[in-house]
Structure 1
Amino acid sequence: MSDIRLIEVTKQYDGQPHPAVDAVSLDIPAGELVVFVGPSGCGKTTTMKMINRLIEPTSGQILLGGEDVLAKEPNELRRHIGYVIQQIGLFPHLTIAENIKLVPGLLGWSRDRCEKRSDELLDLVGLDPSAFRSRYPRQLSGGQQQRVGVARALAADPPVMLMDEPFGATDPITRERLQNEFLRLQAELRKTIVFVTHDFDEAIKLGDRIAVLKERSHIAQYDTPEHILANPADDYVASFVGSAAALKRLALIPVAKLTARPGGAQDGLPAVPDGASARDALDLMIRHGTSSVRVAGGTVDFETISGLLGSDHGR
């Protein structure tokens, strides 16, 4: 795994009075998913693209695993950094397998190794290789294409991934499924990921840490979702958090971490699925008109969950 360090990184475009990105310094720990969130035009995508040199920094230093990215040949650098964008960018004239095998082929992998890796990744992102490897992008739904885009970014097993609004063009149901699938993948793979979004709820759901960016990528706050929700640094950050901070914090607390009451009358109580949050448990109570739900080992009641709203729980 590789950490990422941005040290006083600036991007100044010719003819512009102010830099697009102004002296940004940020440490991104290895194996963490860090989300850049902020309004359109604040510089979050520009900052991310300087990491793989799709945009060249004007000044400053970017270290990837302790090595200066500006000392590397750009194309070689990019072959070791996965990149996923909203528009997906699959080559329409190539099959799904050929799209996934592209970078490993450029790196000199054998044909058998490329094919094995393609099938492995299709299976990993929930697409049956026998059904999808020979299809073309036009034969897939938007959500399926996004899964292939993630698989292609993972093809050469890069230590770092950059993701620019990758799920933004999908409908809300597909977007939630993709987010859940990606969280499952990240729990298994532990890549170092920079993820750009304008959706604060998405940032809360996916990020190990969130960088809330202002104009010219000035960092208003850089912290865990839990701490940002509980203690926004200023009014600007509070405007992202909104009025439902307490409920958003519940979504970060796995119901499995709550102390279940053993036994008790469970007949007719709805059951919380594996991996659910305290927010999911609360929603289930409201939908079914009950004051408790079934969990592994017993029940969790409304009083237990409401008691979390004033406390500072981690994930």
Structure 2
Amino acid sequence: MPDITTNTGVLTSLASQQGGVDIVLDRITKQYPGQSTPAVEDFSMRIEPGELVMFVGPSGCGKTTTMKMINRIIEPSSGSIRINGDDVLSLDGNELRRHIGYVIQQIGLFPHFTIAENIAVVPKLLGWSKARTAARVEELLNTVQLDPGIFADRYPRQLSGGQQQRVGVARALAADPPVMLMDEPFGATDPITREKLQAEFLRLQADIGKTIIFVTHDFEEAIRMGDRIAVLSERSRIEQFDTPARILANPANEYVRSFIGEGAALKRLALIPVSGATVGSPDSAAPAATIDEETSLREALDLLVLTGAPRINVTRGGAIVGSIDQAAISAALGATAPARRAEGE
């Protein structure tokens, strides 16, 4: 293990980094004393700047352990971790964690702090002025769609679970970190709240472009949110690391297929917008219900089934521009099936 220094130059670089950074894990291993097998063994991965990578796998496979080694909540036994080319194992762990956002399922808000005080924790540790901190708190509350005038002075117990999760995300973003680690952040919420939080976070990520590692046990969540998905088995062995579309179309082995489960084609349809299909002419006999061209083909298929109509009209900006039927949806599914990547690509 390298000698630990503060290395303020690297930390300053991280703090000032706009958008995301690349993360390289090279042969990371975690061996706990008294255990015969490692929790994580010889794990290597490169994550591109601004990429949202999902870790999915069964309980005990080491996905959370792997993620926590990046900000050194857990110290690796061997291997190297580099962020933007800098070795994080040479940094002071406490200082490092102040420059990496971290969101957990249990949220971890301080119950006796107001919402504003919870969000301000890291900026205060970094020595921000009161004015700068207050402005950042207000900005972030607006970003996660919580009115500062209503929520800033409330306490966590006065918020719903979904609202507390939004505050947890805001707190992780407070110091504008280039890296965010998210450990099943929406797992404790009900399905409707979870879907809303996922949509809000994807909207937010489109604007902020952070490099994000997101741990989940929910493959549907991984498909919906990830730029790439790492399907992990025991000791964080990577069974497949690829885009959602490629994994659904070409699972690497039976283990990956077991994660996909039934309905792979329907799951793939959720990744393809209506504009990805060949749209026919507007149909005057189609039902009043329409589908926007940016909506998924899965939703278009649902609408066709619900209405029982042979075709539904497609809109762009509210204006009808064409129509679509089940044959067009099936053709789009076949046309977008990606070829299997070459080994090592």
Of the three residues 169, 180, 202, the one matched with 1:150 is 169
Give distance in 2, aligned partners of 1:142 and 1:107.
28
Provide the residue aligned with 1:60 in structure 2: 79
Q: Is this contact kept in 2: 1:266–1:299, CA < 8 A?
A: no
Whole-angstrom CA distance in 2 between matches of 1:10 and 1:167: 28
- For 1:267 and 1:221, locate their aligned partners in 2 and report how far apart those are by CA, in whole Å: 42
TM-score, normalised by the number of residues in structure 1: 0.96
1:194-233 matches, within 5 Å, as: 194-233=213-252
Matched, 1:117 2:136: yes
Deviates more, 1:221-230 or 1:122-131: 122-131
- CA distance in 1 between counterparts of 2:142 and 2:222 reads 26
Q: Is the Cα contact below 8 Å between 1:253 and 1:313 reproduced in 2?
A: no
- CA drift of 1:187 comes to 1.0
Is 1:8 the equivalent of 2:27?
Answer: yes
What is the identity, as a one-letter code, of the residue corresponding to 1:159? P
> For each residue in 1:112-149, what CA deviation from the matched residue of structure 2 results, as whole angstroms up to 9, or x when unmatched?
11111111111111111111111100000000000010
Equivalent residues in 2 for 1:258-273, closer than 5 Å: 258-265=277-284, 268-273=287-292
Q: CA deviation at 1:294?
A: 2.8
Alignment equivalent of 2:53, drawn from 9, 27, 34:
34
Matched residue type, 2:26:
I
Aligned counterparts of 1:299 and 1:266: Cα–Cα separation in 2: 11
Consecutive unaligned residues in structure 2, runs of 5 or more? 1-19, 339-345
**Aligned mates of 1:268, 1:238 — CA distance in 2:** 38
Q: How many residues align?
A: 314
Equivalent pair of 2:273/2:293 in contact (CA under 8 Å): no
1:274 CA drift (Å): 7.0
Secondary structure at 2:290 match in 1: coil
Once the two structures are TM-superposed, the CA of residue 239 in structure 1 deviates from its matched residue by: 0.6
Aligned AA (1:94): F
* 2:324 is the alignment partner of 1:312: no
Q: Cα deviation per residue 1:238-270 (whole Å; 9 max; x = unaligned)?
A: 111112111100001122333433433166331
Secondary structure of the corresponding residue to residue 56 of structure 1: coil
2:204 equivalent among 159, 179, 185: 185
Aligned partner letter, 2:151? F
How far apart are 1:104 and its partner, in Å? Answer: 1.0
Following the alignment from structure 1 to structure 2, what is the Cα–Cα distance between the partners of residues 180 and 111? 32
Structure 1 pair 266–164 and aligned structure 2 pair: CA distance change class (3 A): farther
Q: Is the 8 A contact 1:247 1:309 kept in 2?
A: no
Partner of 1:236: 255
RMSD: 1.4
Which of 300, 323, 326 is equivalent to 1:299?
A: 323
CA distance in 2, matches of 1:145, 1:216: 32
- 5+ residue gaps, structure 1, are none
Asked if the contact 2:246–2:337 (Cα under 8 Å) also holds between the matched residues in 1, the reply is no
Alpha-carbon contact 1:47-1:217 (below 8 Å) kept = yes
Aligned AA (2:300): A
In the superposition, the TM-score normalised over structure 2's length comes to 0.88
* Cα distance in 2 for residues equivalent to 1:172 and 1:301: 30
Aligned counterpart in structure 2 of residue 176 of structure 1, from 188, 192, 195: 195
Render the CA deviation track for 1:141-161: whole Å, top value 9, x for unaligned: 000000010011011110000
**What SS does the aligned partner of 1:53 have?**
coil
User: Aligned pair in 2 of structure 1 residues 309, 256: CA closer, same or farther (>3 Å)?
Assistant: closer
Alpha-carbon distance between aligned partners in 1 of 2:214 and 2:55, rounded to the nearest angstrom: 6
